[in-house]
Amino acid sequence: MKKITIVGAGRVGETTAQILAEEELCREVALFDVREDVPEGIALDIVQTAPFFEFDCAVHGSNDPRILKDSDLVIVTAGFPRKPGMSRADVLESNVRVIDEVTDHILAYAPETMVLMVSNPVDTLTYRVAQRTGWSRNRVFGQAGVLDASRMASFIAQETGFSARDITTMVLGGHGDTMVPVPRFCTINGVPLSYFLPEDRVEAIMERTRKGGAEILALRKNSSAYDAPGAAVAAMVDAIVNNRRRLLPCVALLEGEYGEADIAMGVPCVLGEKGVESILELELNEREQADFTQSASAVRSEIERLRDIR
Ligand SMILES: NC(=O)C1=CN([C@@H]2O[C@H](COP(=O)(O)OP(=O)(O)OC[C@H]3O[C@@H](n4cnc5c(N)ncnc54)[C@H](O)[C@@H]3O)[C@@H](O)[C@H]2O)C=CC1
Ligand SMILES: O=C([O-])CC(=O)C(=O)O
């Protein structure tokens, strides 16, 4: 992949840019932000780490949206993070305005690109971008489940003492308090989680995962998470640029899968060079499906609020 543009040179945008450059996941990382001079400053700072990390990927920043030209992938991290005590949905109205403006830049300057949404509430804003662009669902998708699954894996690692490298987890649904961790699909090097942990501990880990973003926000105080979010976005980028066809939970537009349509939310997807190549429809048990449906209602109520925003 030649060029990746990150829109929103804030905490998540900067962390992501640094990882993309370090891992040489493209030849050029571009940063766009409305804060005067800031994207140029961040780009310069990242470029100066090149001798340490031994990369020669170019990094540029600008306040001019024409920097989006020729992007193969645009990652959108622009907009307001929530503050302690708020839900992600509480920034919907403020962030829709930002995202509509960003989408118009994408349509004007990068009409051939794929779009990876990060800004919250990510399910509803992914839906908004898909509606406004009219692009096919392989090209417009979002990051949530990769992060939520990594949180769940880290909690399981702490609880069991096993390496996080050996832990595979699955979190579906909307990226909010109704997200759906699925312990039935979690293993430690292929061994089901239930072999190691009793049900009440698994339930506690599921609950901590659902509140994982809020836990960090409460501790960091002036910022929501950005280290693990940046790494999660980079993992998705790696799957795309290397055409790995990884099975990852992504925010995707549903067309009947899991009994839902006209909505974007987290489902297991095959992620490769064309973006979301397909959606895997797992057979959920009764509780998992009920939780997924409840999560879809929460996302749908946000999507309904979009109608009142001009
Ligand atoms: N999907 C996920 O898993 C995660 C999503 N997020 C979300 O990502 C977003 C960014 O979070 P942070 O980086 O911590 O926030 P931040 O406040 O550090 O950065 C946001 C940046 O967006 C820029 N911006 C605002 N309006 C813009 C516009 N019209 N065009 C271009 N840039 C614009 C701001 O100037 C700022 O630099 C938030 O909505 C947050 O909730 C954060 C972590 C994980
Ligand atoms: O908690 C937030 O608002 C940011 C986010 O989405 C996360 O860290 O999961």
User: Cβ(194)–Cβ(201) under 8 Å?
Assistant: no
Mean pLDDT, to the nearest integer, of 293-301? 98
Q: Are 115 and 133 in contact (CB under 8 A)?
A: yes
What is the token pair recorded at 67? Answer: 């920097």
Q: Check: CB of residue 90 under 8 Å from CB of residue 82.
A: yes
Residue 220 annotated as lining a ligand binding site: no
Q: Mean pLDDT across the chain, nearest whole number? A: 97
Pocket of ligand 2 (CB under 6 A): 81-82, 88, 120, 147, 175, 213, 216-217, 224-225, 229
Phi first, then psi, for residue 255 (nearest 5°) are -130, 55
| Interval between CA 95 and ligand 1 midpoint (Å) | 9
Beta strands in 212-260 (DSSP E): 246-255
Tell me the per-residue pLDDT of 72-82, one tens digit each, with 9 for 90 and over.
999 999 999 99
C-beta atoms surrounding 44 within 10 Å = 12
Number of other CB atoms surrounding residue 255 within 10 Å: 11
Q: Model confidence at 110, in pLDDT bands (50, 70, 90)?
A: very high
Q: Which pLDDT band, with edges at 50, 70 and 90, does 307 fall under? A: confident
- pLDDT of 310 above 80: no
Pocket test for ligand 1, best of 33, 90, 233, 237 (most atoms within 8 A of CB): 33
The whole-number average pLDDT for the span 7-27 is: 98
Closest C-alpha to 262, from 140, 130, 167, 155? 130
Ligand 1 contact via 78 beta carbon (within 6 Å): yes
* Residue nearest atom 1 of ligand 1, based on CA coordinates: 118
DSSP H or E segment with residue 219: helix 212-220
Radius of gyration of the chain measured on its C-alpha atoms:
19
- Estimate the share of the chain in helix, then strand, then coil, as percent rounded to the nearest 5: 50, 20, 30
**Mean pLDDT within 143-160:** 98
Give the C-alpha separation, 250 to 166, whole Å.
21
Q: What is the largest CA-CA distance in the chain?
A: 55
Q: Per-residue pLDDT for 179 more than 90?
A: yes
Q: Which residue among the candidates 105, 139, 175, 210 is catalytic per the annotation?
A: 175
d(CA 74, CA 110): 8
Dump pLDDT digits (tens) for 257-281: 999 999 999 999 999 999 999 999 9
Kindly report, residue by residue over 204-234, the tens digit of the pLDDT: 999 999 999 999 999 999 899 999 999 999 9
Ligand 2 atom having least distance to the Cα of 120: 6
Contacts of 148 (CB under 8 A, 6+ apart): 171, 175, 179, 181, 209, 212, 249, 266
pTM for this one? 0.98
Is residue 87 within 8 A of residue 122, CB to CB? The reply is: no
pLDDT tens string 249-258: 999 999 999 9
- Given this model, what pLDDT does residue 258 score? 97
Ligand closest to 81 (CA) is: 1
Distances (CA, A) of 185 to 171, 240, 284: 9, 23, 10
Q: Does 175 qualify as catalytic in the annotation?
A: yes
